[in-house]
Protein backbone atom coordinates (compact mmCIF):
# COMPACT_ATOMS: atom_id res chain seq x y z
CA UNK A 1 0.00 0.00 0.00
CA UNK A 2 2.79 2.39 0.94
CA UNK A 3 4.74 1.58 -2.24
CA UNK A 4 1.65 2.25 -4.37
CA UNK A 5 1.11 5.58 -2.63
CA UNK A 6 4.76 6.55 -3.22
CA UNK A 7 4.56 5.54 -6.88
CA UNK A 8 1.47 7.72 -7.35
CA UNK A 9 3.37 10.69 -5.91
CA UNK A 10 6.53 10.22 -8.01
CA UNK A 11 5.02 9.03 -11.30
CA UNK A 12 3.66 12.45 -12.45
CA UNK A 13 7.13 13.99 -12.12
CA UNK A 14 9.06 11.39 -14.17
CA UNK A 15 8.44 13.14 -17.53
CA UNK A 16 9.87 16.35 -16.06
CA UNK A 17 13.07 14.58 -15.07
CA UNK A 18 13.77 13.92 -18.75
CA UNK A 19 13.66 17.68 -19.40
CA UNK A 20 16.61 18.42 -17.12
CA UNK A 21 19.84 19.23 -18.91
CA UNK A 22 23.34 19.19 -17.54
CA UNK A 23 24.93 21.67 -19.92
CA UNK A 24 24.56 23.71 -23.08
CA UNK A 25 23.80 20.82 -25.41
CA UNK A 26 20.53 22.10 -26.88
CA UNK A 27 21.64 22.79 -30.46
CA UNK A 28 18.56 23.89 -32.34
CA UNK A 29 20.97 25.78 -34.57
CA UNK A 30 22.12 23.36 -37.24
CA UNK A 31 25.80 23.17 -38.13
CA UNK A 32 26.30 24.79 -41.47
CA UNK A 33 27.19 23.01 -44.68
CA UNK A 34 28.81 24.77 -47.63
CA UNK A 35 28.77 28.53 -47.26
CA UNK A 36 25.95 30.28 -49.09
CA UNK A 37 25.91 33.94 -50.02
CA UNK A 38 23.47 36.47 -48.62
CA UNK A 39 22.94 40.21 -48.20
CA UNK A 40 25.99 41.97 -46.81
CA UNK A 41 28.59 39.65 -48.34
CA UNK A 42 31.15 41.07 -50.75
CA UNK A 43 32.27 38.77 -53.56
CA UNK A 44 35.15 38.97 -55.98
CA UNK A 45 34.02 37.98 -59.45
CA UNK A 46 36.78 37.08 -61.91
CA UNK A 47 35.88 36.88 -65.59
CA UNK A 48 38.84 35.28 -67.31
CA UNK A 49 39.71 37.08 -70.51
CA UNK A 50 37.92 40.31 -69.58
CA UNK A 51 39.70 42.36 -66.92
CA UNK A 52 37.08 45.12 -67.14
CA UNK A 53 34.41 42.83 -65.65
CA UNK A 54 36.64 41.45 -62.89
CA UNK A 55 35.81 43.34 -59.69
CA UNK A 56 34.34 43.09 -56.20
CA UNK A 57 30.58 43.34 -55.81
CA UNK A 58 28.39 43.71 -52.74
CA UNK A 59 25.35 41.45 -52.37
CA UNK A 60 22.46 43.90 -51.93
CA UNK A 61 19.33 43.63 -49.79
CA UNK A 62 17.49 41.72 -52.51
CA UNK A 63 20.29 39.11 -52.64
CA UNK A 64 21.69 40.21 -56.02
CA UNK A 65 24.91 41.68 -57.32
CA UNK A 66 24.72 44.50 -59.87
CA UNK A 67 26.89 43.09 -62.64
CA UNK A 68 27.93 45.18 -65.66
CA UNK A 69 26.21 44.41 -68.98
CA UNK A 70 23.69 41.96 -67.50
CA UNK A 71 22.28 43.86 -64.52
CA UNK A 72 21.28 42.24 -61.23
CA UNK A 73 22.23 38.57 -60.80
CA UNK A 74 20.55 36.84 -57.85
CA UNK A 75 23.12 34.99 -55.72
CA UNK A 76 21.24 34.70 -52.41
CA UNK A 77 21.47 31.19 -50.88
CA UNK A 78 23.95 30.16 -53.60
CA UNK A 79 27.42 28.72 -53.08
CA UNK A 80 30.25 30.57 -54.77
CA UNK A 81 30.40 27.97 -57.55
CA UNK A 82 26.65 28.21 -58.15
CA UNK A 83 26.92 32.02 -58.18
CA UNK A 84 29.72 31.75 -60.76
CA UNK A 85 27.41 29.60 -62.88
CA UNK A 86 24.64 32.20 -62.68
CA UNK A 87 26.97 35.03 -63.69
CA UNK A 88 28.39 32.93 -66.54
CA UNK A 89 24.88 32.06 -67.75
CA UNK A 90 23.89 35.73 -67.70
CA UNK A 91 27.02 36.69 -69.68
CA UNK A 92 26.47 33.85 -72.15
CA UNK A 93 23.00 35.22 -72.88
CA UNK A 94 24.16 37.50 -75.69
CA UNK A 95 27.28 39.13 -74.26
CA UNK A 96 30.13 36.55 -74.31
CA UNK A 97 30.79 33.19 -75.84
CA UNK A 98 31.77 30.54 -73.26
CA UNK A 99 32.48 32.89 -70.33
CA UNK A 100 34.79 31.46 -67.67
CA UNK A 101 33.79 32.94 -64.31
CA UNK A 102 35.00 32.41 -60.74
CA UNK A 103 33.40 33.81 -57.59
CA UNK A 104 35.02 33.96 -54.17
CA UNK A 105 34.04 35.63 -50.91
CA UNK A 106 36.05 38.81 -50.47
CA UNK A 107 34.37 39.82 -47.21
CA UNK A 108 31.79 37.94 -45.16
CA UNK A 109 28.72 39.67 -43.79
CA UNK A 110 29.11 40.70 -40.15
CA UNK A 111 27.89 38.93 -37.02
CA UNK A 112 26.27 40.59 -34.02
CA UNK A 113 26.90 40.16 -30.30
CA UNK A 114 24.92 41.61 -27.43
CA UNK A 115 24.24 41.10 -23.76
CA UNK A 116 26.84 40.86 -21.01
CA UNK A 117 29.91 41.80 -23.06
CA UNK A 118 32.09 44.91 -22.83
CA UNK A 119 31.15 46.19 -26.32
CA UNK A 120 27.94 45.02 -27.99
CA UNK A 121 27.47 45.53 -31.69
CA UNK A 122 28.30 44.41 -35.22
CA UNK A 123 31.71 42.88 -35.93
CA UNK A 124 33.48 41.54 -39.03
CA UNK A 125 33.37 37.77 -39.39
CA UNK A 126 36.51 35.72 -40.01
CA UNK A 127 36.32 32.17 -41.31
CA UNK A 128 36.27 29.54 -38.55
CA UNK A 129 35.24 31.82 -35.68
CA UNK A 130 33.77 30.44 -32.47
CA UNK A 131 31.60 32.09 -29.84
CA UNK A 132 34.74 32.51 -27.71
CA UNK A 133 36.49 34.45 -30.52
CA UNK A 134 33.39 36.62 -30.97
CA UNK A 135 33.42 37.49 -27.26
CA UNK A 136 37.10 38.42 -27.57
CA UNK A 137 36.28 40.80 -30.45
CA UNK A 138 33.61 42.38 -28.22
CA UNK A 139 36.37 43.18 -25.67
CA UNK A 140 35.51 40.28 -23.36
CA UNK A 141 32.79 39.36 -20.92
CA UNK A 142 31.00 41.85 -18.74
CA UNK A 143 31.23 41.48 -14.96
CA UNK A 144 27.95 39.59 -14.66
CA UNK A 145 28.27 37.39 -17.77
CA UNK A 146 27.51 33.69 -17.86
CA UNK A 147 30.94 32.53 -19.03
CA UNK A 148 29.94 28.96 -19.86
CA UNK A 149 27.36 29.30 -22.63
CA UNK A 150 25.64 31.62 -25.07
CA UNK A 151 22.38 31.91 -26.97
CA UNK A 152 22.91 31.76 -30.73
CA UNK A 153 20.35 32.96 -33.26
CA UNK A 154 20.79 31.88 -36.88
CA UNK A 155 18.57 32.24 -39.92
CA UNK A 156 17.73 28.81 -41.34
CA UNK A 157 15.61 29.18 -44.44
CA UNK A 158 12.78 31.57 -43.59
CA UNK A 159 12.98 30.83 -39.85
CA UNK A 160 15.17 32.20 -37.09
CA UNK A 161 16.55 29.28 -35.06
CA UNK A 162 17.68 29.65 -31.45
CA UNK A 163 20.14 27.42 -29.66
CA UNK A 164 22.03 27.29 -26.39
CA UNK A 165 25.68 26.65 -27.30
CA UNK A 166 29.01 26.38 -25.54
CA UNK A 167 31.80 28.87 -26.13
CA UNK A 168 33.63 26.67 -28.65
CA UNK A 169 30.61 26.36 -30.95
CA UNK A 170 31.34 27.70 -34.47
CA UNK A 171 29.49 30.78 -35.61
CA UNK A 172 28.54 31.86 -39.11
CA UNK A 173 28.21 35.24 -40.80
CA UNK A 174 24.94 36.91 -39.90
CA UNK A 175 24.61 35.10 -36.55
CA UNK A 176 23.49 36.96 -33.45
CA UNK A 177 25.13 35.91 -30.19
CA UNK A 178 23.59 36.81 -26.84
CA UNK A 179 25.71 36.47 -23.71
CA UNK A 180 23.29 36.21 -20.82
CA UNK A 181 23.90 37.29 -17.28
CA UNK A 182 24.56 34.60 -14.71
CA UNK A 183 22.12 34.09 -11.90
CA UNK A 184 23.61 33.82 -8.47
Topology adopted by domain 42-107: wza like fold (3.30.1950)
**SS3 state at 16:** helix
Same fold, 23-30+109-179 and 42-107: no
CATH class of the 23-30+109-179 domain in this structure: alpha beta
**SS3 state at 113:** strand
What is the pLDDT, as a whole number, of residue 8?
Answer: 45
Single out the residue of 102, 86, 125 nearest to residue 44, CA to CA: 102
What is the pLDDT, as a whole number, of residue 94?
Answer: 84
What is the pLDDT, as a whole number, of residue 37?
Answer: 94
Domain ranges within the chain, ordered by starting residue? 23-30+109-179, 42-107
Q: Can you tell me the distance from the alpha carbon of 155 to that of 151, in angstroms, rounded to the nearest whole number?
A: 14
What is the pLDDT, as a whole number, of residue 32?
Answer: 61
Do 171 and 129 form a contact (C-beta atoms < 8 A)? yes
Q: Name 57's bridge partners.
A: 43
Q: Can you tell me the distance from the alpha carbon of 136 to that of 110, in angstroms, rounded to the nearest whole number?
A: 15
What is the pLDDT, as a whole number, of residue 158?
Answer: 80
Q: Can you tell me the distance from the alpha carbon of 41 to that of 58, in angstroms, rounded to the nearest whole number?
A: 6
What is the pLDDT, as a whole number, of residue 18?
Answer: 42
Kindly give the confidence (pLDDT) of every residue in the chain, 184 residues in length, as a single tens digit, with 9 standing for 90 and above: 554 544 444 444 444 444 444 444 444 555 567 889 999 999 999 999 999 999 999 999 999 999 998 999 999 999 999 999 999 999 999 889 999 999 999 999 999 999 999 999 999 999 889 999 999 999 999 999 999 999 999 988 788 899 999 999 999 999 999 999 987 6
Q: Can you tell me the distance from the alpha carbon of 124 to that of 107, in angstroms, rounded to the nearest whole number?
A: 8
Amino acid sequence: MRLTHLALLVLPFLPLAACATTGPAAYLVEPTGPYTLDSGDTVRVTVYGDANLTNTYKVDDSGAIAFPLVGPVNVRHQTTSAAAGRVAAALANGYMRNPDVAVEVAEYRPFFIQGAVANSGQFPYSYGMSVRAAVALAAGFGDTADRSRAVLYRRQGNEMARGIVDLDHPIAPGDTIVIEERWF
